[in-house]
Amino acid sequence: MTHHGTVLITVILLLTALTAETQANNVVGSASVSVFGAVPKEIEDRARLTATAHFSEELQIWLRQEMHIGIDTSNTIRNYALRKLVERCLKNATESTTTRGRIWTLSLTLSESAVRSALQAHNSHYDTEASRMLLTANNPDPNAALPATIGALCAAMAKIEPTGASRGVNVNEVRASAQELLDRVRVSAPNTVIEGRPGSLPHKAPLATFTIDSIPLTGLNMVAFVQNGREFTRVATDSRGELPMKNYKVPFVHNGSMLTVSPDARSYINADRFIRYRDLGLRLNRGQELSFIFKIPTLTYTLDFKVFTHEPEVKIPPEFSNDAHVRKYLKDACGLVPATGGAAPDLRIRIGAQITKELYNELEEDGFKMTMRAEFQGAGINKVHQEVFEKRQRFGLSFQTGAYFVEASGAIREMIINALAKD
């Protein structure tokens, strides 16, 4: 072999190795489905969501391995930062599809260099945002300074950097400024009882007033949680520094249940989910997190619960068609009790669920679909709510009907609380 031939082979091998290394460091999120024929848009959209979730997981692995950055996704501000970085990455990711036999795969791919560029742009953006908000943080009006400082802290903590990195805005200094402002907040809540009927406005609501430096603290964003940590509503202090709790209907909970109202930083950074102050490293030393107690009557109800199917091959278990699991939920979660002795109920409830067997030949899947409808009438309530619950599987597999109906029971419970929670 000539010297030129040896050089050519060496170059090809080097290029091949470099290409393989580059591909290996790509961040890729994929989702595969078995199809027969064209892929329906619904399945394509679902696959894209799955691929996005997989891309997020792969991005976290890349950050740990290549940048030595770990992200605690249980921390609300860190979780927000990751979602925003994923969003930025996907704007430049390449979407591709492949078909091997009947397996169709959708992939979202971004090269390592593009990921690094996205990370740099992400950090630059939030560093700029933090610096911009800090300009307002120096405002002598504490009503302007507090949200600006907390917003600056959110932005500074939304940067994704290795532990100990100190480029740009100093997080500890911003946090100290935010804590100093928070410690100047005072809360007056002489009454902590909410009285009224579930589903109606309270006839007695607590009065909680927030001040900072003896002036009303306005526009302080809060989020209210009822039992089991379910988000009830978002609220903000008004021009008098008061929480307008009288404007929110009493939820369906037990008498004596607690309503916890916590400061929420999401709006200061335009986040779509709750951001806890403690995840920002801030302490609520002055009673800024409040707890109220519900003093409400126990409402009675009648229930008309029907589950049916028109398909002989669908066998509905008796423990599901029986209304005992629904009644248990109405008692445990909603604080309702059955009407007795022929007395007129406070609330009439009708719940219907139709079970059908569905075939999706193009995907080689079948499954069960439950179409649900709930009606609530009485006690000033007139609501109708509908939802669908479906589970699918590949052809040829034995459908686990027991597991399906366990999940279907949960879907009915979720529909009930969704219906009662909506205005």
Q: Over the range 363-395, which residues count as b (16 or more CB within 10 Å of their CB) and which as e?
A: bbbbbbebebebbbebbebeeebebebebeeee
Locus of tokens 């190795």: 17
Question: Rounded to 5 degrees, what are φ and ψ at 137?
Answer: -60, -20
For the segment 76-120, what is each residue's pLDDT rounded down to a tens digit? 999 999 999 999 999 999 999 999 988 999 999 999 999 999 999
Q: Is 96 left (phi over 0), alpha (psi -120 to 50) or beta?
A: beta
Question: Based on the domain organization, do 416 and 312 belong to the same domain?
Answer: yes
For the segment 336-369, what is each residue's pLDDT rounded down to a tens digit? 999 998 889 999 999 999 999 888 777 777 788 9
Out of 245, 261, 295, pick the residue that ends a domain.
295
Parent domain of 194: 186-295
| Helix, strand, coil abundance in the chain, percent, nearest 5 | 40, 30, 30
CA atoms within 13 A on the CB side of 136: 17
Residue 136, in any domain of the structure:
yes
Residue 1, in any domain of the structure:
no
H/E element, 338 = strand 337-338
Residue 238, in any domain of the structure:
yes
Mean pLDDT over the full length of the chain: 89
Question: Based on the domain organization, do 281 and 215 belong to the same domain?
Answer: yes
Residue 234, in any domain of the structure:
yes
Residue 284: CATH number of its domain: 2.60.40
Question: Based on the domain organization, do 400 and 309 belong to the same domain?
Answer: yes
Tell me the pTM: 0.85
Residue 5, in any domain of the structure:
no
Q: Which of 1-15, 88-102, 125-139 has the lowest mean pLDDT?
A: 1-15
Q: Which of 15-29, 32-46, 198-212, 330-344 has the lowest mean pLDDT?
A: 15-29
C-alpha distance across the termini of the chain, in Å: 82
Confidence of residue 421 (pLDDT cuts 50, 70, 90): confident
Residue 63: CATH number of its domain: 3.10.28
pLDDT number for residue 365:
76
Residue 250, in any domain of the structure:
yes
Total domains present in the chain = 4
Judge whether residue 220 has pLDDT over 80.
yes
Residues in the chain: 423
Question: Based on the domain organization, do 132 and 54 belong to the same domain?
Answer: no
Residue 290, in any domain of the structure:
yes
Q: Which of 161-170, 282-291, 316-325 has the lowest mean pLDDT?
A: 161-170
Question: Based on the domain organization, do 311 and 415 belong to the same domain?
Answer: yes
For residues 195 and 205, give the distance between their C-alpha atoms in angstroms, rounded to a whole number: 6
Question: Based on the domain organization, do 212 and 176 belong to the same domain?
Answer: no
